[in-house]
């Protein structure tokens, strides 16, 4: 896990090595173990350098004096695989130079195939495997990769930059493109720190974010000219023309992949894929631990780890609260007590800590946060860092999206049963879901119907039900469009959840973990697990009133107690949002008096809401989202 960045000039050499060194310093938290640079002149001749944070055994000159360049690549390394100096980047092979952030879990198998074709290797890294696979297959090499990645390869032979991002956007990649230069980086802040970068906000995205908690299109952010390079895509930047191309190399399976069949799912295939994913995600030359919320997904991950490697001891990290309405630590303790090779650690987030650290959290996140729940994950990652022994953790992101764990999935499931004429099954599942999932199933059902009504009516309903529209000044309401986040079938809803909500969660995951120089891995997002989960028949995803039924069936094969496997309700890394709002109201009022806000926002309404009692969790998240926008804006304004 690392940080990458690069600058490619087309005309005037506007940036110097002082700028590259600044970017490297900003990305230091992503890779404190080593830093490397490659400067490329007008003749495409590369020169490699190390930095102040490089180990002494890296035999390269140190980049110190200010130099100009045509192109520059930089890398910050968090050493996970092949801890030797051989893993230093940028890495060069046959005139191709790579900077890579991520992990390719099947790199050893790919390496064996490449060796059979006559390729040789100097290191034991997955980085060299990517570079060699590119030499063998070109852009199609990424189709063989299982893992998470964002990388760029400067091809001095073909005279272009090739860059790629993993299938689901686990690893970040941002680009800023003008007629003068092409700039990319792992984090927005490494780009915004450069002189001359246009930091104008995208008012349409900001209005949409305040109203709906997301940008107008998937894979967006709040800056007008800084782009998220989309997941599952390859890109090319051609040096001579300055043209950028973006090509998809992967897409999620759709309904056609089902072939019209509705056969019983093959749990054995899913279980094999998941177990293989855990096995590969545990591969590292350092110690690996896990986040453990106490929910189904993280409990299954930890149980599988413990049973696959009974000879190893694993540490788990959990956020706990005195407020039992949101606390899941008892479930986490039960998981740890089940296995004698699990050592649990607990952290206790507080409201005062949240407000004290919000500026720092927003700095590392680069963008506002959707609710205070992100702080729970922040505190868990801080707990991992404080342990001092664990640079890698597994986490359960993705399971809710691919198996349908959120409330809307249950409503869409019932609608699909009605559409298929399965009325008896509908009434039976409705009653069981009411008993085992939530007593408010009628409201869940009605909310799922929201996605079937026209956009203008959706807007009217949203204005009436939510606070969020009122955080936007009325003159900007015409800039708000309804993002197409909800599907009309279970499969479509999963696909859209992966594109929208999961994408945001993965940003939180990456920034929270990397802020503490921790690599976070998400085994549910091995693409073979995702595909098998998405293509399971509808009736196997929710069954007898139990959501995420395939996850529970896999859990039954473990030693986990029944009270965890068949538990009701869902919490995750939650926070007491109402309690914190009431507790911190006076501090927030005093802060807002001095803070500026974007012209698009209604400051009076935000101040008014601080005094208003809020118990609805949606309203609370909307309030905290708007407050975080104000804090973010003041930290990042020109």
**Which pLDDT tens digit goes with each residue over 12-40?**
889 999 999 999 999 999 999 999 999 99
Sign, Cα dihedral of 558, 563, 566, 568: negative
Indicate if 255-638 has the same CATH topology as 2-248.
no
Q: Check: CATH 3.40.225.10 for 2-248?
A: no
Q: Does residue 177 contact residue 246 with C-beta atoms inside 8 Å? A: no
Written as six digits, the tokens of 221 are: 């952010």
User: Which H helix or E strand runs over 554?
Assistant: helix 549-556
For tokens 């609370």, the residue is 620
Distances (CA, A) of 358 to 27, 308, 367, 375, 638: 19, 39, 12, 8, 20
Q: Hey, how many other C-beta atoms are within 10 angstroms of the C-beta on 482?
A: 18
- Tokens 């349409």 appear where? 204
Tokens at 346, concatenated: 């607990």
**Token pair for 469:** 């529209």
Q: How far is CA 555 from the centre of its chain?
A: 25
Question: What digits encode the pLDDT tens for the residues 194-253?
Answer: 999 999 999 999 999 998 899 989 999 999 999 999 999 999 999 999 999 999 999 998
Residue with tokens 């309405």: 325
pLDDT at 448: 92
Give the separation between CA 522 and CA 532, rounded to whole angstroms.
Answer: 16
Q: Where are the alpha helices (DSSP H) in 399-482?
A: 399-403, 407-419, 423-436, 441-449, 455-465
Nearest to 131 by CA among 159, 91, 166: 91
pTM, to two decimals: 0.95
Confirm if 224 and 202 have CB atoms less than 8 A apart: yes
Q: How many CA atoms lie within 13 A of 345 on its CB side?
A: 20
Residue 475 DSSP class = G
For residues 624 and 372, the answer to whether their CB atoms sit within 8 Å is yes
Alpha-carbon gap, residue 432 to 549, rounded angstroms = 13
The DSSP result for 116-174, as a single string, is HTT---SSS-HHHHHHHHHHHHGGGGGGG--EEEEEEEEETTTTEEEEEE-TT--S--E
What pLDDT, on a 0 to 100 scale, did the predictor assign at position 260? 45
For residues 177 and 235, what is the distance between their CA atoms, to the nearest angstrom? 13
Report in angstroms the alpha-carbon separations of 455 from 227, 450, 458, 463, 484. 27, 9, 5, 12, 9
Determine whether domain 255-638 maps to CATH 3.40.50.620: yes
Stretches where the chain sits below pLDDT 70 are 1, 255-265, 569-574, 638
User: Where in the chain are the domains?
Assistant: 2-248, 255-638
Nearest to 244 by CA among 259, 223, 229: 229
Transcribe 388-410 into DSSP letters.
SS-SEEE--TTHHHHHT-SHHHH
What pLDDT was estimated at residue 170? 98
Q: How many residues does the chain have?
A: 638
Q: What is the pLDDT of residue 458?
A: 77
Give start and end residues of each alpha helix (H) in 240-295. 267-281
| Residues 485 and 501 sit within 8 Å (Cβ to Cβ) | yes
Phi, psi of 412 (to 5 degrees): -65, -35
pLDDT of residue 452: 87
Which among 157, 88, 76 is positioned nearest to 127, based on CA atoms? 88
C-beta contacts of 464-470 below 8 A and 24+ residues apart: 465/618, 466/211, 466/618, 466/619, 466/622, 467/609, 467/619, 467/622, 467/623, 468/210, 468/211, 468/212, 468/213, 468/622, 468/625, 468/626, 469/211, 470/602, 470/605
CA–CA separation, 47 vs 156, rounded Å?
Answer: 13
The rounded distance, in Å, linking the Cα atoms of 13 and 9 is 6
Strand 342-347 and strand 314-319: the pairing is parallel
Q: Which pLDDT score, from 0 to 100, does residue 263 have?
A: 47
Number of helices (H), then strands (E), in the chain: 24, 18
């Amino acid at each position: 896990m690392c940080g990458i960045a690069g600058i490619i000039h087309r005309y005037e050499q506007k940036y110097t090595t002082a700028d590259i060194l600044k970017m490297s310093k900003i990305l230091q938290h992503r890779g404190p173990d080593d830093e490397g640079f490659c400067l490329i002149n007008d003749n495409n001749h590369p020169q490699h350098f190390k930095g102040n944070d490089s180990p002494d055994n890296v035999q390269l000159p140190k980049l110190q004096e200010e130099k100009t360049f045509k192109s520059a690549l930089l890398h910050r390394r968090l050493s996970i695989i092949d801890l030797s100096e051989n893993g230093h980047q940028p890495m060069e092979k046959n005139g191709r130079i790579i900077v890579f952030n991520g992990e390719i879990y099947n790199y050893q198998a790919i390496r064996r195939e490449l060796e059979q074709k006559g390729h040789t290797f100097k290191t034991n890294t997955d980085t060299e495997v990517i570079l060699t696979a590119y030499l063998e297959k070109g852009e199609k090499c990424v189709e063989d990769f299982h893992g998470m990645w964002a990388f760029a390869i400067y091809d001095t032979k073909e005279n272009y930059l090739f860059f790629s991002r993993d299938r689901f956007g686990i690893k970040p990649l941002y680009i800023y493109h003008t007629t003068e230069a092409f700039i990319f980086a792992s984090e927005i802040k490494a780009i915004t720190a450069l002189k001359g970068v246009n930091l104008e906000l995208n008012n349409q995205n900001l209005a949409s974010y305040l109203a709906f908690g997301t940008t107008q299109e998937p894979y967006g952010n709040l800056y007008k000219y800084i782009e998220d390079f989309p997941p599952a895509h390859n890109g090319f930047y051609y040096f001579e023309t300055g043209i950028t191309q973006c090509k998809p190399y992967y897409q999620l399976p759709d309904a056609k992949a089902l072939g019209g069949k509705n056969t019983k799912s093959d749990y054995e295939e899913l279980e094999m894929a998941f177990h293989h994913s855990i096995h590969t995600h545990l591969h590292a030359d350092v110690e690996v631990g896990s986040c453990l919320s106490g929910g189904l997904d993280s409990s299954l991950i930890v149980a599988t780890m413990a049973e696959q490697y009974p000879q190893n001891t694993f540490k788990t990290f959990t956020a706990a609260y005195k407020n039992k309405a949101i606390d899941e630590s008892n479930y986490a303790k039960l998981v740890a007590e089940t296995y004698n090779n699990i050592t649990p650690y607990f952290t206790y987030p507080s409201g005062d800590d949240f407000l004290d650290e919000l500026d720092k959290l927003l700095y590392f996140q680069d963008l506002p946060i959707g609710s205070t729940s992100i702080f729970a994950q922040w505190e868990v990652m801080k707990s991992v860092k404080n342990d001092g022994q664990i640079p890698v953790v597994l986490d359960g992101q993705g399971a809710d999206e691919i198996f349908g764990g959120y409330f809307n999935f249950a409503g869409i499931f019932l609608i699909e049963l009605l559409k298929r004429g399965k009325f008896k099954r509908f009434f039976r599942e409705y009653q069981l879901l009411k008993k085992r999932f939530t007593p408010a199933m009628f409201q869940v059902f009605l909310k799922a119907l929201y996605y079937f009504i026209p956009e203008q009516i959706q807007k009217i309903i949203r204005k009436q039900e939510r606070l969020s529209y009122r955080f936007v000044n009325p003159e900007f309401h015409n800039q708000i469009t309804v993002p197409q986040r909800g599907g009309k079938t279970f499969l479509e809803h999963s696909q859209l959840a992966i594109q929208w909500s999961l994408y945001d969660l993965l940003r939180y995951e990456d920034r929270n973990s990397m802020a503490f120089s921790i690599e976070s891995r998400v085994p549910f997002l091995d693409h073979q697990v995702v595909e098998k989960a998405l293509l399971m028949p509808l009736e196997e995803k929710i069954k007898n009133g139990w959501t995420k039924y395939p996850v529970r069936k896999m859990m039954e094969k473990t030693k986990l107690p029944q009270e965890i496997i068949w538990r009701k309700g869902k919490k995750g890394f939650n926070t007491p949002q109402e309690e914190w709002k009431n507790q911190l109201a006076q501090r927030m009022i005093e802060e807002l008096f001095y803070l500026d806000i974007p012209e698009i926002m209604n400051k009076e309404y935000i101040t008014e809401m601080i005094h208003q009692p809020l118990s609805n969790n949606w309203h609370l998240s909307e309030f905290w989202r708007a407050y975080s926008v104000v804090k973010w804006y003041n930290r990042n304004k020109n």
